[in-house]
């Protein structure tokens, strides 16, 4: 009868009869297989008998009822003799119809016939596992394994369109921005950035010093503003190189902007505004004094029916004209200086030692704003105003007619009727800034000359912008340097008959 058996490597072997030596070699794995014939089972002509422990594959290949029960250990607890594991007992294949053959059991069948496990206590329902918060913005931590032994999937944040729409930008950009802000939160404000901001803010109020309209007043704001700009630039570079360890870039930028504003606000805006304000102040101060003089001039004319002479001259013993007193001296009683006028000795010149105590005093109403108030020739009080007077040859009509300037001259006696051009169109006095005369000088009157602020013997103000003029009717006008010389000449004559 043929013998069929299976090697441990899975190769099926078939022998028509058992070898004489009882051993055979597997053609696949070259293992030696023991082949013996056992006593035939009931109903069978003969079947091989397995000797010793059966391998799992042999158990799987046999019917379930042919698996021998496990042997109990003996009382002496002596281990059974271990057979050679390299040999496998083979069972002859049963002959006869296939329906009478026992069905082979696979591994699943063996497991299904295993004894049932003992009932255990019901395990509590597993709790819901919540993935721990992932550290941000560092590398994501390892997620714990799921119940199935895997790892929770990493969410694709950057690819979530809903999140990107909510943030107004891609999630990657949002994460980067948040990471930068988190890094900045750990930084330290740059001291240079704070210093730049402080200097920039300080330069703005310093710019208002330029309103004083002095050279030194224009320097503080540009100096402090330049330091603010330089410090801000250095702070910006420092913050950029610190890689987040220092912050305060906004402070540095604000400091630079404030420094620029302070640097240019002072010399440009405030300086110009200061000049205008100072000019307005000077003009108001000068105009007020000229109006006082104009009021005194009008009162003098009302009481004497003539304007005061430009200068009082008398002949000395040699027959020469000698100047004694000027037109401003005649107005002292009407400008609030009556006591000073009473102390003057009219029969001697103003520069005589007998009158020195009077004419060395300053008369405030004879001062203009901003002009030097020092003593003239170290002795006499100065006057910042001069009368308009003298004569001028007018040859425009071809007849070279002599016209008279203003109201003053040597021992002049000008009345209202002599002012044919009109009191409002005739200059009586004007502001001067150079070659200042004593206020008692009988020669304190002059012509227009070359124009305003163009001739030291002419008219002009301290700011070199023009001059204030007192008209014969008591009004005051300011004429700028741009006023045409012909207009100035026409206004200076009292009988020029100009259109």
Is the pLDDT at 452 greater than 70, yes or no? yes
Per the CB < 8 A criterion, the answer to whether 353 and 372 are in contact is no
Picking from 450, 451, 445, 403, the residue whose alpha carbon sits closest to that of residue 428 is 445
Per the CB < 8 A criterion, the answer to whether 159 and 172 are in contact is no
Q: In this structure, what token pair is assigned to residue 22?
A: 């009882």
Q: Is 152 left (phi over 0), alpha (psi -120 to 50) or beta?
A: beta
Q: Tokens 């001067």 sit at which residue?
A: 432
**Nearest-angstrom CA–CA distance, 140 and 455:** 88
The residue ranking higher by pLDDT, 393 or 83, is: 393
pLDDT one-digit tens code per residue, 151-177: 445 555 445 555 555 556 566 666 666
Q: Tokens 């026409």 sit at which residue?
A: 490
Compute CA distances 90 → 93, 108, 164, whole Å: 9, 23, 72
Q: In this structure, what token pair is assigned to residue 435?
A: 């070659």
Confidence at 497, pLDDT banded by 50, 70, 90? confident
Tell me the β-bridge partners of 387: 429, 445
Picking from 334, 230, 213, the residue whose alpha carbon sits closest to that of residue 280 is 213
Confidence at 347, pLDDT banded by 50, 70, 90? very high
pLDDT of residue 66: 44
The four Cα atoms 9, 15, 20, 23 give a dihedral, to 10 degrees, of 0
DSSP string of 250-317, one letter each residue:
HHHHHHHHHHHHHHHIIIIIIHHHHHHHHHHHHHHHHHHHHHHHHHHHHHHHHHHSSPPPSEEEEE-T
Classified as helix, coil or strand, 165 is helix
pLDDT of residue 139: 47
Q: In this structure, what token pair is assigned to residue 140?
A: 């994501």
Is the pLDDT at 447 greater than 80, yes or no? yes
């Amino acid at each position: 009868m043929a013998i069929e058996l299976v090697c441990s490597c899975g190769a099926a072997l078939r022998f028509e009869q058992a070898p004489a030596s009882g051993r055979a070699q597997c053609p696949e794995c070259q293992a030696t297989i023991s082949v013996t014939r056992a006593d035939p089972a009931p109903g069978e002509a003969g079947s091989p008998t397995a000797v010793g422990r059966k391998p799992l594959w042999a158990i799987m290949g046999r019917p379930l009822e042919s698996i021998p029960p496990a042997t109990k250990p003996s009382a002496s607890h002596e281990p059974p003799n271990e057979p050679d594991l390299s040999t496998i007992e083979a069972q002859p294949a049963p002959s006869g119809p296939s329906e009478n053959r026992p069905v082979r059991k696979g591994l699943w069948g063996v497991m299904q016939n295993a004894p049932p496990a003992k009932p255990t206590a019901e395990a509590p329902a597993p709790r819901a596992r919540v993935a721990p918060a992932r550290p941000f913005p560092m590398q994501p931590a390892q997620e714990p394994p799921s119940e199935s032994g895997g790892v929770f999937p990493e969410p694709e944040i950057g690819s979530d369109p809903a999140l990107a729409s909510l943030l107004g930008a891609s999630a990657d950009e949002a994460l980067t921005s948040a990471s930068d802000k988190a890094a900045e939160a750990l930084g330290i404000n740059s001291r240079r950035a704070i210093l730049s901001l402080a200097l920039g803010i300080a330069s703005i109020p310093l710019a208002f010093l330029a309103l004083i309209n002095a050279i030194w007043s224009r320097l503080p704001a540009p100096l402090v503003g330049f330091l603010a700009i330089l410090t801000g630039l250095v702070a910006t570079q420092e913050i950029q190189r610190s890689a987040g360890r220092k912050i305060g870039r906004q402070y540095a930028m604000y400091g630079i902007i404030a420094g620029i504003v302070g640097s240019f606000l002072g010399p440009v805006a405030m300086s110009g505004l200061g000049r205008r304000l100072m000019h307005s102040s000077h003009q108001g101060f000068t105009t007020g004094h000229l109006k006082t003089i104009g009021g005194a001039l009008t009162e003098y004319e009302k009481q004497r029916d003539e304007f005061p002479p430009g200068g009082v001259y008398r002949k000395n013993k040699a027959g020469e004209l000698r100047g004694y007193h000027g037109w401003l001296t005649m107005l002292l009683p009407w400008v609030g200086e009556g006591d000073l006028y009473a102390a003057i000795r009219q029969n001697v010149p103003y520069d005589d030692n007998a009158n020195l105590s009077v004419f060395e005093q300053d008369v405030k109403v004879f001062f203009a704003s901003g002009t030097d108030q020092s003593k003239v020739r170290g002795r006499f009080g100065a006057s910042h105003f001069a009368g308009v007077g003298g004569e001028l040859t007018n040859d425009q009509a071809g007849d070279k007619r002599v016209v008279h300037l203003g109201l003053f001259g040597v021992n002049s006696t000008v009345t209202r009727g002599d002012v044919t051009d009109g009191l409002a169109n005739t200059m009586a006095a004007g502001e001067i800034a150079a070659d200042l005369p004593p206020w008692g000088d009988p020669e304190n009157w002059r012509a227009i000359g070359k124009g305003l602020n163009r001739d030291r013997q002419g008219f002009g103000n301290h700011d070199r912008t023009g001059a204030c003029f007192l008209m014969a009717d008591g009004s005051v006008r300011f004429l700028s340097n741009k006023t045409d010389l012909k207009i100035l000449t026409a206004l200076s004559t009292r009988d020029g008959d100009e259109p």
